Amino acid sequence: MPNERLRDALLRNGFSLEQVADATGVDQKTVERWITKGRTPYPKHRHKIAAMARESETYLWPDSVAPERKAETAAAEVVQVFPHRNVIPVELWDRLIKEASGTVEVLVHAGLFLVERPRFVKDLTAKAAAGARVRLLFGDPSSDSVALRGAEEQLGDGTLASRIRNALAFYRPLVRVNGVEMRFHDTTLYNSIFRFDDEMIINTHVYGFQGAHAPSLHLRRLSAGDLFETYSESFEAVWNLAKPATF
């Protein structure tokens, strides 16, 4: 069975069979079999290819890593646990935003706290101009899921929808920026996700609590890890269900 994930990752990053063969020290026919036949490379080759393609080994070869190692690596992917999102140091947000160069992905209802940072929208514009892919997912203010979350957080009727609309006013300058895509989702938001290249902040959601008061995880992606990849795939699933944002 062909390894379509590997094929896509190599094409997306512009790597030819020859380049992969040179990097791993094997012949092109072997690389071709890894793709078309779904053969699994040796660990040293998997690690090299995963680094080249900026993907995890567990994403490219889901069955290649033993469950015990996945569990150990997942624990290592957790850099820090914060009891509440609002105690995450400003310096950490600043560093993540500043250093991101390839991928910025945000899944929220409103994300209003981000645009309280004076340069956030300008930073996203600059990163997109430099070639980064910026994808922002907001809750659809007219959706039932937003109304339900507002009720669960005891915010008052229409408060969360209004908060989303307020946030969108700040994000409006990004509408025509090449490299920036924004969509509305109406899914149940189990976690807010903030990805900056190979690091993430996961703001878990707790029934009855607003996001700022719920726990958060700081994750760093590891090649053989599974935790970072799980949240990345979750973002992708919501993105694929979402519709273009309207302002």
- CATH (domain of 57): 1.10.260.40
Higher pLDDT, 171 or 1: 171
Whole-number mean pLDDT of the chain? Answer: 90
In total, how many domains does the chain have?
2
User: Which pLDDT belongs to residue 237?
Assistant: 96
Asked whether residue 225 carries a pLDDT value surpassing 90, the answer given is no
Asked whether residue 224 carries a pLDDT value surpassing 70, the answer given is no
Q: How confident is the model at residue 86 (pLDDT cuts 50, 70, 90)?
A: very high
Q: Are 50 and 158 within one domain?
A: no
Q: What is the mean pLDDT of residues 204-232?
A: 88
Within-domain flag for 67: no
Q: Are 56 and 79 within one domain?
A: no
User: Which pLDDT belongs to residue 175?
Assistant: 93
Within-domain flag for 101: yes
Burial class of residue 103 in the structure, from the number of CB atoms within 10 Å of its CB (0-12 exposed, 13-18 middle, 19+ buried): middle
Q: Are 28 and 114 within one domain?
A: no
Q: Are 42 and 93 within one domain?
A: no
Residue 162's domain spans which residues? 73-244
- DSSP assignment of 77-90 equals HEEEEESSGGGS-H
100-154 residue pLDDT tens:
999 999 999 999 999 988 899 999 999 999 999 999 999 999 999 998 888 887 7
164-181 residue pLDDT tens:
999 999 999 999 899 999
SS3 105: strand
* Whole-prediction pTM: 0.75
Q: Are 108 and 192 within one domain?
A: yes
Asked which of 17, 39, 62 is the last residue of a domain, the reply is 62
- CA neighbor of 106 nearest in space, from 211, 241, 239, 207: 239
Within-domain flag for 68: no
Asked whether residue 65 carries a pLDDT value surpassing 80, the answer given is no
Q: How confident is the model at residue 67 (pLDDT cuts 50, 70, 90)?
A: low
